[in-house]
Structure 1
Amino acid sequence: MTDGAEKHSGQNQVPATPDAAQPEQPAAPAQPPYGQPGYGQQPPQPQYGEYAQAPYGQPAWGQPDWQQPGMQQPVMGAPGWTPPPKPGIIPLRPLSFGTLLGAPFQMLKRNPKATFGSALLIQGIVGVATIAAIVPFTLWIVGRVDNASVADQSEVIAGSVGLGILVGVVLFAVSLLASALLQGVIVLEAARATLGEKLTLGALWKRVLPRVLPLVGWLLLLGIGFTLALAFLVLIAVLIFAQGEGFLGLGIAYSVLAGIGLLVLSVWIYTKTLLVPCAIVLERLGIFAAVRRSWVLVRGAFWKVFGVNLLVAVIVNTIAQIVTAPLSILVGFGTTILDPNGSGDQVAFLIITNGLVLLVTIIIGAVASVVQSGTIAFLYIDRRIRTEALDLDLQRAVEARESGTEAADPYLPADRLSPATA
């Protein structure tokens, strides 16, 4: 035996007799010297990236189950979350506050020709019509008054005021018609963009034109209602002040409270009827039916509808002020800086700068109209998703379109569908 074996025997205090019956032990592999791997003397070792097989058929520590024969298992973990379908610019689910704020701008970016183009065209027509009517009319009136005799000047001025009111009414009607058309176009574009459709400017106008008159009627009804309420409150204030100086304090207090009350009432009615244009265009309802429809949809969500609409208006107006303020300053001080002596170049400068301000104002107004009308449309869609599960109807319409089959208009309520499309 070797010296190592003798030492080992001595430590265990077993006499090393050759006749001692010892059970046969499996030969242990020779140990390599310290620090040197015993290559060639060990059983085959696994390569890098493999795992050694543990004895007794047990899996080695850290060995994944999928590497064991016959034990393949799926990856552990909860099933993955599937986002809602999004065929267009918004997901078909109840819309969050951020989505409601961003959707109008996405719509403007997605189809600028139909949205911004329509707004710019309509705003431009109204602006040109206003200038073309007011400037010649003003020059004509001034000429008439200057050429009239002293005895006839009063009659000429009175007639001019009457004609001025008539021109103002015509311009108001043109502006009202333009606003109704633009609002209908943007509402329809938002509804179709939700389904992933991208209509041209001509296609949008063609679909909206049959609904323009109800939209005009609604805007006119709003204006008349506010005017009558204001006139009634003013009449009461006049009657109070007419009682004499002793009622001065009462008249002032009444005027303040009446003004606040009219403001609160106007905001409340405006918010409750904010979705009327959407019901007129998308559901093809009449004015009063659309008012009832909007009243029902806004129920329970007044502050959300009010807050989103107000915040978008504040954002748009702030951007408009930031853009137009430098131009206004330029017009105010540029004349003195560039033409301190008052030469003829001052007139040319004023014409150029005022024309630039008008152009920028039209562009900003077009963007603001698109964004604010789009906000109303997406609020309408959100309210119908939350109260009527409109998202399911929209999803079915998208699936039918992709399969090539004809589907009913998802925005029409079931009781208004024709038998052919129901």
Structure 2
Amino acid sequence: MAQDAGWGGGAYGGAPYGGPPGQPGWGGWGGGWMPPKPGVIPLGPLRIGDVLGGAFATLGRYGKQLFGVGAAAYGGALAVVLVAAAVAYSAVADHLDRILSLGSYEDPRAEDVVPLVVAFGSVALVGLIAVVISTAMMYTAVPVVLQEAVLGRPTTFSAVWRRAWSRMPAVIGTVVLTWLIAMVPVVLAWACFLAVMVAALSTDGGSGPAVVLLIGALGTLATAPLAIWLWVKFSLAPSAAVFENQGPIGAMRRSSRLVRGDWWRILGITMLAGAIAGVASYLIQMPFSLLGLFTGMLGTANLGDDPNPAAVVVAMSGYVLSMLVGQLVAQLIVATFPPLVTGLLYVDRRIRTENLGPVLAEAAAVPPQYTT
């Protein structure tokens, strides 16, 4: 991109806001001038309709790249988890059979329970790591696509993948640090709540339970707003990590500066984007759930009175497969649309506070005498 529009930190020189570059009016859009729109958004302060419309336009124009990266990331994560589950099952199949064959009054032996716990914990850990990596890939790929979408330039799956992969460690660090910082007040509140609960239960009768419930409610009310405030404060950090090649700490500082003065607006638009993605996810999963229930009933209809675990797994495979596919498709929407909105909010804040509009117009090769 021309003139460091790739997009480095700090304020840029160039025309003041008010009119086209070199003329008054760039930003106020008075006198008949309008901001140029070479890509999915106008290169001026964005309204909520511009942000949401830009996110939908990006999905429409760059859907193959975004959903291709998402399918590769989440499909790979799902494959890794399934392989881990298959390996774990083969390792503890005998222990599982012995536990399932126990009568209602028989207790399982420790040598059968411990391997199952270890296997389940191992699969859960593998799944957590796979989800974190695949989600970070989407948090990285979305800004990579937006860098071109804002300027109306084409890109390819391979270009997005290479750029996203190179910035993924920084984005993972940013997301993990943001989550940890936002969770600190909640964890402290729960620690205090558990301490009070233990103290109350150690006393006989009295008003102990009521005090515990009151303290728990007050702790939640006191810490939830702080956690939300921190989450919004650092919500633009993944975009800064990609757009500006920032490390985790630098990206969080940039997010804090950009969010300052516009916290409530960013919260509202982000929540609206999450609600839209949630509704879309629910509507997508409904037909897959119905199909899964139908195939599950067909599969279990032929089971005997005392089926073995392998037969149950085979009978329910259609249901599980349908639910996994539905969850994967829905996850692509949830993991793509909100980050698109967040990325456009990042661009909007830089247009408003750092005069980024003229730089983007130059990078997009917009003629200086652009009019409507």
Q: Same fold judged by TM-score > 0.5? A: yes
3-state secondary structure, aligned to 1:383 = helix
Once the two structures are superposed, residues 353-404 of structure 1 have per-residue CA deviations (whole angstroms, 9 ceiling, x without a partner) of 432232122112112212111111100000111111110111122229x99x
Tell me if the contact between 2:37 and 2:43 (Cα under 8 Å) persists in the aligned partners. yes
Corresponding residue of 1:211:
167
Which of residues 155, 160, 176 is equivalent to 2:132?
176
Q: Residues 145 and 153 of structure 1 are in contact (CA less than 8 Å); yes or no, is this contact kept in structure 2?
A: no
Determine whether 1:282 maps to 2:243. Answer: yes
Of 46, 52, 62, 1:111 maps to: 62
Aligned partners of 1:347 and 1:163: how far apart in 2? 17
- Give the equivalent residue in structure 1 for 2:346: 380
CA-CA distance at 1:198 after TM superposition: 1.4
Q: What SS does structure 2 have at the residue aligned with 1:285? A: coil
Question: Which deviates more, 301-310 or 161-170?
Answer: 161-170
Look up the equivalent residue of 1:222 and give its one-letter code. T
Specify whether residues 221 and 163 from structure 1 end up closer, same or farther in structure 2 by C-alpha distance, changes over 3 A only: farther
Q: Which residue number in structure 2 is paired with residue 407 of structure 1?
A: none
Between the aligned partners of 1:355 and 1:339, the Cα distance in structure 2 is 13
Q: Percent identity?
A: 25
Q: Which residue of 2 aligns with 1:412?
A: none
Output the amino acid matched with 2:176: L
- Whether 2:326 is the aligned partner of 1:370: answer no
The residue aligned with 1:399 is 365
Number of paired residues?
323
Q: Which has the higher helix share?
A: 2
CA contact (8 A) 2:239 2:343 kept: yes
Aligned pair partner of 1:302 in 224, 242, 263: 263
The code of the aligned residue for 2:75 comes to G
User: Which amino acid is the alignment partner of residue 272 of structure 1?
Assistant: K
Paired with 2:181 and 2:259, the residues of 1 have a C-alpha distance of 21
What residue number does 2:19 align with?
A: none
Residue 255 to residue 139, structure 1, CA distance change in 2 (3 Å): farther
The 1:110/1:160 distance shift into structure 2, 3 A limit, reads: same
Shift of 1:177: 1.7
Match of residue 200 from structure 1: 156
Distance verdict in 2 for CA 1:357–1:83, change over 3 Å: same
Q: How far off its partner does 1:139 sit?
A: 5.2
Q: Structure 2 CA distance, aligned partners of 1:306 and 1:121? A: 30
Structure 1 residues 151 and 374 mapped into 2: Cα distance closer, same or farther (>3 Å)?
closer
For 1:151 and 1:318, the matched residues in 2 are separated by: 45
* Inter-partner Cα distance in structure 2 for 1:223 and 1:265: 13
Kept in 2: contact 1:104–1:370 (CA 8 A): no
Look at both structures and tell me which one has the larger radius of gyration over its CA atoms. 1
Q: Which amino acid aligns with 1:323?
A: I
Question: Relative contact order: is structure 1 or structure 2 higher (C-alpha 8 Å, sep ≥ 6)?
Answer: 2
Structure 1 pair 339/153, CA: closer, same or farther in 2 (3 Å)? closer
Give distance in 1, aligned partners of 2:277 and 2:108.
49
TM-score when scaled to structure 2? 0.77
SS in 1 for 2:365: helix
Distance 1:261 1:328, change over 3 A: farther
Q: Deviation of residue 333 (structure 1)?
A: 6.3
Equivalent in the alignment of 1:44? none
Query: Does 2:318 match 1:352?
Result: yes
Where do 1:228-239 residues align within 5 Å?
A: 228-239=184-195
Structure 1 runs not aligned, ≥5 long: 1-78, 404-422
Offset at 1:330?
4.6
Measured after TM superposition, the shift of residue 142 of structure 1 is 4.4
Q: Which residue of 2 aligns with 1:32?
A: none
- Maintained 8 Å contact 2:296/2:316: yes
Q: Give the drift of 1:160.
A: 3.8
After superposing the two structures, state which structure 1 stretch, 210-219 or 346-355, moved more.
Answer: 346-355
What corresponds to 2:23 in structure 1?
none
1:318 and 2:279 aligned: yes
State the distance in 1 between where 2:296 and 2:130 align.
34
Aligned pair partner of 1:250 in 208, 211, 230: 211
